[in-house]
Structure 1
Amino acid sequence: MWEAAKLRFPTGRLVRGVVIAHHPFGIFVDLGDPIATGLVQITDFVDSGRMTPEQYPRLGESIEGVVLGHTDDHRKQVWLGVKPSQLRAASQAND
């Protein structure tokens, strides 16, 4: 099942989800998949400067991200990047 989820969320794909949890290291995103959960680490929010937890998108907010990779079979997380440069590159690749 995890292998199928990874195929649904290949690296480089632009995806949309809803913020479901805040943590000091980043946020979790509901991708609408029963197996996989999105994770945006604090280092994958801004191109320059520092992101702080106070700047996170609100719980329940819809966000767009680029699939950067996948965790192991135990965690079943899809790593997402929301840096403007990442979103721009993914958008251009999908045009």
Structure 2
Amino acid sequence: MKDSLGKKLEQYTLKKPQEVLIVRGEIENKSDVILIFKGFSSSLMHPTAFDPDIPVLPDVFKIISIDRVASPYNPDSPRYIQQNLSLSDMEFLLSDIGL
């Protein structure tokens, strides 16, 4: 079974624990910002389910951009590695590390 994009992004942060991903997008015409760090995802704009098996980033999520930020993440002063990556840019990084 092929892993979902959300699961791949979580796995990316397990392989790159020095990075935090900030994923901006839409689901059902509602904006959302999802933070992914060390294998866990959390919505910054909507409630996040307590059960880690419930995807925070479902397959219908339309990604607008992804930022790579150095950890520890400080929302008042983020240290960006790369900003405004497209989905195809991120897919290249995922494949580069075997995801």
TM over 0.5: no
User: Does 1 or 2 have the higher relative contact order (CA < 8 Å, sep 6+)?
Assistant: 1
TM-score (norm. length: structure 2):
0.27
TM-score (norm. length: structure 1):
0.28
Comparing both structures, which one devotes a greater share of its residues to helix? 1
